[in-house]
Structure formats: structure tokens, C-alpha cells
Amino acid sequence: MGIDLRFTDRDWARVEEAWLAWWAGELNRPLLIIEPPVQGLQLSGGYAGNFTSNFPLELPADAVLDYYQQRLEAARYYGDAFPRWWPNFGPGIVAGFLGATVKCAPDTVWFEPAQDGAIADLHPAYDPENVWWRRVQDLTRAAVQRWGDRVAVCHTDLGGNLDILASLRGTQTLLMDLYDSPEEVARLTGEITRLWLRYYDELAADILPAGRGTTPWAPVWSPRGRCYMLQSDFAYMISPEMFVRFVLPDLATCCDALDHAFYHLDGKGQLVHLDALIALERLRGIQWVPGDGNPPPEQWPAVLKRIRDGGKLCQLFVTPEGARAIVRALGGRGFAFYIEWTLPEDEINGFLRTLALEDA
């Protein structure tokens, strides 16, 4: 079944050239990923929403993809944006692959431990028949087969090692484990990282043959290589010393396995870990998300300067005004701005031209 996108082979060549230059440090402007939100589409049966987990597991993959194809065909891609599809099963679905209970709601997904017990008794293992893992695999394979090189199919949100472990143990329990059983926590983070890499590799084996590289849940794209947005939201609650012990080894291992690794720095409580992240040589960039209730990204120039002066690329969710402010203060080189913007096409194109002039 074909897909009718307003995105040509010439468009793909144009954005690929820009992204490759950006990764190489050779793009003398910011990347601008502008995607006006698609509104008002709904699959018959009422399963529409941002979370793929809202679709019944027994619904055939093609029926799920029918809905997302409507969205892809209705979407518009400006600047350095490109057609992409993300199977969204919630942040850290690897916990579901490893036996955590998956709780689905219209606007969120969360995970709960499937059983209580001592941390020493927890031994996560790969289960090829796990219902959530099979669903993610089936949808990923079906999307690649259906859309080929017309759409970049994303990795699902695998999660971070401590985030996954928190879903298997419970957040409060894991916080106590860090003090009571640090060796067991270190054992489990290592085991989870090895499993994480297996899940990543198996999905990459399905995705890469399509020829559109890899892209995660976040708007970063490796046109010819292996890319991911690494994270540890749990790190908001731990000290820099614990971050170095329990999170950094996982990040280093994953960075070694990737061509273009990014880190999701979520909230000002994670800024205490920024120096350790900048020192991670194979980490290519940092996504800064100030968090709810905090000033937007353009109001953190010192943080943005630290990231760029540390030799890292930087991806941000901003408004057009925010992008302009950052370019005026710091220049655009090394930044990737993601902008959801509903405006007439001529106004969007005008913004692209004026920002290029301001960055000149």
C-alpha cells in the first residue's frame, strides 16, 4: 500500500545533507524542524491519540498503521523536518518487556512492579514472547514493510537503566535500594543495559534496511547510522556521585554502541549532572528541557553556552521567538530547534528566511 506524502526524493536529499553536515559540525546555521500539529483525525473505533498503546493488542498492525498513515499524509514538513513515525508505548517500555505491569490511559502510560520481593531476587531476562515486545516488533516491521524509504520509522521509547529499574522495583523502593543494596543496583543496571542494547539492536535490524537511518522518540535523526536519545529521569532524584556510579556507565556503554548519541536533560534538577555528561566523549549532544513551571529554553543562556562550549550539539523545543532569541544571543551553529507552529505556509517560509538572515 502506497503513501501520499508531500515530501519528495529531492526533499529527502536536502534534509539528509543538512543533518549530515550538522553532525559533522559543518552546518553554519541551526537545524529547524517545523511541524504544524495535525488536528481532528480519528480512526473508526475511537482509538486515536498519541499513544500507540491505546490500540487494542488484538487489532491488526495494518489497522493501526491506517490511522497513522492518515496523520502522515495530512502533515506538513518545513525546514529540516521529515516524515517520521514513532510507535509510542510510553517512556521506558523496556520495563513492560521485562515483566512490569503496563498501565494505559488516553494521555499517558505508566508501569508498576509485577511482584514484590528482595532486590537480590530480581533477574530480568529477555522474553521473545512478551506481549509488549512482540507488539512493538510487529508494528515496527509492518511500518517498514509498508512505507519503505518514504517514512523514517523510529525506535520506540526504550527508557534509561534506572528508569526501567524503578518501574520494576517502584521508585520509592529503588531510592532505598541505592543505600541498602548498592551492589545489587549496580548489578541490575548492568543487566538492564545489556538487555537494552539487545532490544535496540533487534529493532535497528528491522529499521535500517529501509535506508532512512534511525531516529528515536525525539526529533534527532541519523540518516545513515545509529541514533538514540538516552535518558535517566530518575537522575533528578540522586546525587552527582550516584549518577557517576549508577547512570554514567550505562550511558558510556550505549554511546559506544551508537553513532549519534544524545541525552535528554529534563529539568533543572539534572543540571548538577551536566559536567559529567559533557565529559562523556562519545555523547554527541544534549536535549535541554527546563521542565514544567520553569522559564523556556531561551531564558537559560548560561546552560546553552555550557553545552555548546563543551563541544556538544543541542536540541531544544522552542517557539519561533525563542529560536530568534537564542540565535541573537549565541548564534545558531550546533542547535536544532523543534517548533510546532500553526501558521500559513508563507509565514513559516518567511520565518525560515528571516532566521537565516539573523544568523548570518
pLDDT tens track for 167-215? 999 999 999 999 999 999 999 999 999 999 999 999 999 999 999 999 9
pLDDT computed for residue 179 by the predictor: 96
Mean pLDDT of the chain: 93
350 — pLDDT class (breaks 50, 70, 90): confident
Closest CA to 91 of 104, 82, 81, 80: 104
Closest CA to 284 of 195, 202, 200, 222: 222
Name the DSSP class of 28: S
Q: Evaluate whether residue 86 is within a structural domain.
A: yes
Name the DSSP class of 38: P
Radius of gyration (Cα) for the chain, nearest Å?
20
Q: Evaluate whether residue 258 is within a structural domain.
A: yes
Q: Evaluate whether residue 178 is within a structural domain.
A: yes
Measured distance CA(108)–CA(86) in Å, rounded: 15
For residue 298, what are the CA distances in angstroms to 77, 214, 246, 324? Answer: 24, 28, 31, 9
pLDDT computed for residue 296 by the predictor: 97
Range of the domain at 186: 9-358
With b for 16 or more beta-carbon neighbours within 10 A and e for fewer, the 4-20 pattern comes to ebebeeeebeebbebbb
Measured distance CA(22)–CA(12) in Å, rounded: 15
**pTM listed for this prediction:** 0.95
Q: What is the CATH number of the domain that holds 37?
A: 3.20.20.210
Task: State how many domains the chain has.
Answer: 1
Q: Evaluate whether residue 3 is within a structural domain.
A: no
**Taking residues 230-250, what's their average pLDDT?**
97
Grid look-up 531544544 returns: 316
pLDDT computed for residue 243 by the predictor: 97
Measured distance CA(317)–CA(289) in Å, rounded: 7
Q: Evaluate whether residue 249 is within a structural domain.
A: yes
Q: Evaluate whether residue 199 is within a structural domain.
A: yes
Q: Evaluate whether residue 300 is within a structural domain.
A: yes
Closest CA to 81 of 258, 288, 221: 221
Q: Evaluate whether residue 2 is within a structural domain.
A: no
Q: Is the pLDDT of residue 360 over 60?
A: no
